[in-house]
Structure 1
Amino acid sequence: MSADPFDDPALDESLDLYQLLADAVDSLLSMTGAQIVASLAIVGIASDVLAESLLVRVFEDTLTLVRENADTSQPEVQQLITDLERTIEAAGLTVDLSAPVLLVGLLALAILVEAIRIVAVRAFANDELDGVPRALAARRLPIAAAYGFVAVILIYLAIGIVSVLTFFLLFVPALFVYIGLLFVRQEIAVADKGPIQAISGSWGLVKGNRWEILGLAVVLFLVTLGTWVLASLLVGPAGTVGGALLGAVNLTFGTALVTEAYVRLSARSDDRPDRQPSI
C-alpha cells in the first residue's frame, strides 16, 4: 500500500498539464470544436427556455392557488402576490406548454446533450479536428448516449451520498470519488463500455494518477467558475443566448481537456486487462 492515501504508485511519466491545456484550446478552436459548441449552444438555449417556462408555470399555479385560497386582504399575502407577479413578468423567453410536456422536453434535451458530448469525446480522442465524421458520430450513438446518461446519474448519486455521509471531512472523500470517475464518459464513448464497466475502468485508469487529475479538476473548476460569473452578468434574452453559448464553450473545452488526459493515460495503460480497443 502506498504511503500516500490519496495516490498509488504509478508510472514515472507524468501528465503535462500545460500541453493538455494547449491541446484542449486547439480542439476548442477547431472546426470540430465550433460544431460541438454550436450544437450545445442550440440545445442549451432550448433547455433554458423550457426550464424558464416550467418555472413560470409553477409560479402561475402558485399565484392561482394563493388567490383562490388565501386571504388577499392580508398585507403579507398581497406582498406574496406582488412578488410572484413580478417574477413572472421578469421571465425571459418562454413557451406555453404544460408542466409534464416541459419535463419530458427537458429530459430529452439532457439526453441529447449527453449524445453531443459522446460525439465530442470520440472526435477529440481521434484527433478529428476538421469536422466530426458522420460515421464516428453515429456509431452506436443512441446506446452510448443512454449509457452516458445513466452513468452521469450514478455518478451524481455517488458523489451526493458520499458528500452527505462525510461532510465533516470537508468533502475530501467526495472529491476522491469525483476524480476517480472523471473518465467515465470517455470509457463509454471510446471503449464502448456500459455504465458499470465504465465506472470501473475510469477508477482503474485514475489509480496512481490522482494528484495529476486533481490539478486537472482544479482547472475545470476555475474555467467553469469563470464562465458562470460571465453568464451571471447577462440578463433577459441576451442572458439566455449568451449564457447558453458560454456554457457550450465551457462544456466543449472541459470535454476536450478531459479527453486529452484520457488518451494519454490510456496510452500508458494499454496492458490493462479490462482495456477495450479504442475507435
Structure 2
Amino acid sequence: MDGATALVEALRELRGRVGAALAALFLAVGVATVVARETLLAAAVGDATLRPALVEQYRALGVDPATIEANLATMGDTPLALGLSYGGSLLLFLAVALVAEYAAVVALRAVTGDGLRAAATRRVGRAVAVGFLVGVLVRGLVAVGLAAFVLPGVFLAVSLLFAHAAIAVDDAGPVEALSTAWGLAAGRRFEVLGVVSLLLALYLSPRLLAATVPGTPGLLLGGVAIGLGNLLSAGVVGRAYVAARDGIEGEGNEDGADDADPYDAPLGADDLPEPE
C-alpha cells in the first residue's frame, strides 16, 4: 500500500466519534509535550551543574561566545515552563512520553479494526511498555545510521517501520515485533519508503508551521499541529501495516484457490465409479 492510500484509509477510519476522541487526546498530548520540553530546557539552563556543559556545547558548535549567554537566557525565559527542578522536569517529560505512547497504541488499534473501548484497554499496559522500549531502540538505531552515512539510517527506518504497529495491533513481543517488521518490509522496501516519506512530511510540516508564528502562540500552535500530525502518522502506519500483513498472509493464494477444498466441486463424468 502506498502512503497516499494509507492516509486516505486512515482519514476514513478516523471519522465520527472515534476520530473526535482521538483528536482531543492527541491535541492534549501535543500541547503537553511542548510544555514538558520547555520546562526541561528551562530547568537545564537554570541548573548550575548543567549550564557549563551547555556553554561548551554551544562553543563546540561554533556559536559566537558573545551570544551564548543571550541564547541560554532566551531558552530559560519561557512562560510555558512550569518552574520544576531538573529532576522533576525529567519525570514530567517521561510521563508525557508514556501518555503519548498510550495515545499511539490506541490510535493504531482504532484504525485497524478495534472499537475504541477495546483499543484503549486490551493489554494496554504491556503494549505501552513494550512499544515505548522498542520505539526508543528503533529511533536510536535510525539515528546512529543517519549519523553514519545517512543511507543506513533510511534503510533501518524502512525495515523497522512496522515494529510499533505489530506490538500495538497484534500484541507482539519485542523480538517478534522487530522480526515481523523486517519481514513485512522485505521485498517491498521502495513501497515502504513512500510511506516513510509521507511520515517525514507529517513530522516536518507542523514544526515549519509553528516556526512562522513567534513566541508563545507559535509554541502552542506547534503543539496542536504536532498532535494532529502524530495522529495522522499513527493512522498511516496502522493502515499500511494491515495491508502489508494481510498481503503476506494472502501470497500464493490467488483468488483463494490454494485454500479451496479439492473435493468441494461438482462431480464430472470421470469421477463416477466404473460399473462392475
Q: Could you say which TM-score interval applies, normalised by the shorter chain?
A: 0.7 to 0.9
Does the C-alpha gap of structure 1 residues 65 and 45 become closer, same or farther in structure 2, counting only changes over 3 Å?
A: closer
CA shift, 1:113, in A, is: 0.6
Q: Report the residue type matching 1:88 in the other structure.
A: G
- One-letter amino acid matched to 1:141: V
Give me the identity figure in percent: 30
The corresponding residue for 2:121 is: 138
Contact 1:180 1:202 in 2 (8 A): yes
- Deviation of residue 207 (structure 1)? 1.1
2:47 is paired with a residue whose SS is: helix
User: CA RMSD of the aligned region, Å?
Assistant: 2.7
Q: How far apart, CA to CA, are the structure 2 residues paired with 1:258 and 1:97?
A: 35
Residues 159-195 of structure 1, C-alpha deviations (whole Å, 9 max, x = no match): 2333344x1xxx2222111111111111001111111
Q: Which residue of 2 aligns with 1:215?
A: 194
Q: Which residue of 2 aligns with 1:101?
A: 88
The counterpart of 1:88, out of the listed 76, 83, 95, is 76
What corresponds to 1:154 in structure 2? 137
d(CA) in 1 for partners of 2:147 and 2:69? 36
User: Tell me, which stretches of 5 or more residues in structure 2 are unaligned?
Assistant: 53-63, 252-276
**Runs of at least 5 residues in structure 1 that lack an aligned partner in the other structure:** 1-14, 67-75, 273-279
Change (3 A) 1:271 1:41: same
Q: Kindly state the Cα deviation for residue 29 of structure 1 after the two structures are TM-superposed.
A: 4.4
The CA deviation at 1:110 is: 0.6
**SS state at 1:125 partner:** coil
User: Aligned with 1:217: secondary structure?
Assistant: helix
Task: Give 1:5-154 correspondences, 5 Å limit.
Answer: 15=1, 17-62=3-48, 84-89=72-77, 91-126=78-113, 128=115, 132=116, 134-154=117-137
Name 2:224's counterpart in structure 1. Answer: 245
TM-score normalised over the length of structure 1: 0.77
Q: How far 1:19 sits from its partner (Å)?
A: 3.0
Deviation of residue 246 (structure 1)?
0.5
- Which whole-Å deviations, capped at 9, do the CAs of 1:108-145 have from their partners, x for residues lacking one? 111111111011111100065xxx2x233111111100
Hey, what's the Cα distance between the residues in 1 that align with 2:187 and 2:228?
30
Which residue in 1 is equivalent to 2:249?
A: 270
Offset at 1:92?
3.2
The structural deviation recorded for 1:20 is 2.3
8 Å CA contact 2:109, 2:169 repeated in 1:
yes
From 149, 156, 174, the equivalent of 1:195 is 174
Does the 8 A contact of 2:98 with 2:128 survive in 1?
yes
**Other structure's SS at 1:208 match:** coil
Cα displacement (A) at 1:270: 2.3
Paired letter, 1:111 = L
- Pairs aligned (count): 240
1:229 corresponds to 2:208: yes
Question: What is residue 261 of structure 2 aligned with on the other side?
Answer: none
Structure 2 distance, partners of 1:21, 1:51, is: 29
Any idea what the Cα deviations from partners look like across 1:185-220, whole Å, max 9, x if unmatched?
110011111112101111111111111111111122
1:219-248, Cα deviation, whole Å (9 max, x unpaired) = 222232222211212333322321111011
CA contact (8 A) 1:21 1:257 kept: yes
TM-score by length of 2: 0.77
CA change 1:196–1:241 in 2 (3 A) is same
Name the CA shift for 1:266/1:97 in 2 (closer, same or farther; >3 Å).
same
